[in-house]
């Protein structure tokens, strides 16, 4: 006869619990390994800064400039259109929802919404969707074609030649585009919205001067460096995770974009919360 314990629901429940615990453990170990590999990519890039070799520095500098050209300069048109219409939309909505809003109050709202939030996060999303995909696909193609292996065989550090210039290029481009995004969103949006929401630019500028403080410079720079690092780091890391199959290139490019966007949103929220916890209400200035 077959043992009755086989049909015991308590035994079946224990087996299910063990499978759930094992599944959680496997996922935790996989996440730990993935985090370790990602940190190794970032650490290898920054660790290669102090490596000797003037010729390697000149080559990496050329790669850096080309990355800035593609990520920053060639994205000006796209950033201009998005910043212009987003800025105009925000100003028009504020004017419609609160018609009694004066120019100085509008300036304070624009500082809190556009300069502190929309410009950093909007720029990071644009760069991540546009350049992050391209970087991940480029490095994935290099990995499939054994170019990364060839560089290592020749004694060239891929972290220094491939990862670091692209990472720094993305950081510099994000910082520059954030400033450009903010200027276009506020000035261009103000001009576009003038026929609908007439307001004195002098009062608007007074609101800017009252709302902006020294802490905003630190916030702007910190968000720019952090968001740019996240986008460049995720793009390079997932691009280098491609093994041998060309079909992995679009998959890793998609993972790079999704991871970078999620990381940017979480980072931006955390920094904003810490900023207002430290300086107080955004309307206190």
- Domain of residue 193 covers 53-279
The mean pLDDT of 174-180, rounded to a whole number, is 94
The mean pLDDT of 217-227, rounded to a whole number, is 92
- pLDDT level of residue 1 (50, 70, 90 thresholds): very low
Is residue 230 included in any domain, yes or no? yes
Say whether pLDDT at 53 is over 80. no
Q: Can you give the pLDDT at residue 120?
A: 94
- pLDDT level of residue 90 (50, 70, 90 thresholds): confident
Is residue 18 included in any domain, yes or no? no
DSSP 88-138: HHHHHHHHHH-TT--HHHHHHHHIIIIIIIIHHHHHHHHHIIIIIHHHHHH
Q: Can you give the pLDDT at residue 285?
A: 42
Is residue 228 included in any domain, yes or no? yes
What's the domain count of the chain? 1
Percent of the chain at pLDDT exceeding 70: 81
Q: How far is CA 219 from CA 50, 51, 100, 119, 238, in A?
A: 28, 31, 30, 12, 28
Say whether pLDDT at 4 is over 60. no
Is residue 29 included in any domain, yes or no? no
Q: What is the mean pLDDT of the chain?
A: 82
């Amino acid at each position: 006869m077959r043992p009755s314990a086989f049909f015991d629901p308590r035994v079946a429940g224990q087996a299910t619990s063990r499978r759930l615990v094992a599944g959680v453990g496997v996922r935790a170990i996989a996440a730990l390994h993935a985090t370790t590999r990602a940190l190794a990519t970032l650490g290898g890039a920054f660790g290669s800064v102090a490596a000797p070799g003037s010729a390697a520095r000149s080559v990496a500098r050329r790669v850096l400039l080309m990355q800035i050209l593609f990520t920053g300069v060639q994205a000006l048109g796209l950033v201009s259109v998005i910043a212009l219409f987003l800025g105009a939309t925000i100003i028009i909505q504020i004017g419609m929802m609160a018609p009694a809003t004066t120019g100085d109050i509008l300036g304070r709202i624009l500082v809190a919404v556009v300069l502190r939030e929309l410009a950093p996060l909007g720029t990071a999303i644009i760069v991540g969707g546009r350049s992050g995909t391209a970087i991940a696909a480029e490095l994935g193609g290099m990995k499939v074609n054994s170019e990364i292996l060839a560089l290592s065989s020749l004694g060239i550090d891929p972290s220094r030649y491939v990862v670091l210039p692209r990472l720094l290029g993305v950081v510099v481009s994000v910082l520059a585009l954030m400033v450009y995004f903010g200027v276009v969103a506020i000035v261009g949006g103000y001009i576009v919205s003038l026929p609908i929401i007439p307001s004195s630019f002098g009062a608007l500028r007074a609101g800017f001067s009252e709302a902006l403080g020294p802490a905003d410079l630190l916030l702007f720079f910190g968000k720019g460096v952090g968001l740019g690092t996240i986008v460049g780091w995720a793009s390079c890391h997932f691009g280098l995770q491609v093994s041998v199959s060309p079909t992995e290139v679009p998959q890793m490019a998609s993972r790079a974009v999704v991871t970078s966007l999620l990381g940017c949103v979480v980072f931006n929220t955390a920094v904003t919360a810490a900023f207002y916890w430290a300086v107080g209400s955004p309307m206190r200035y």
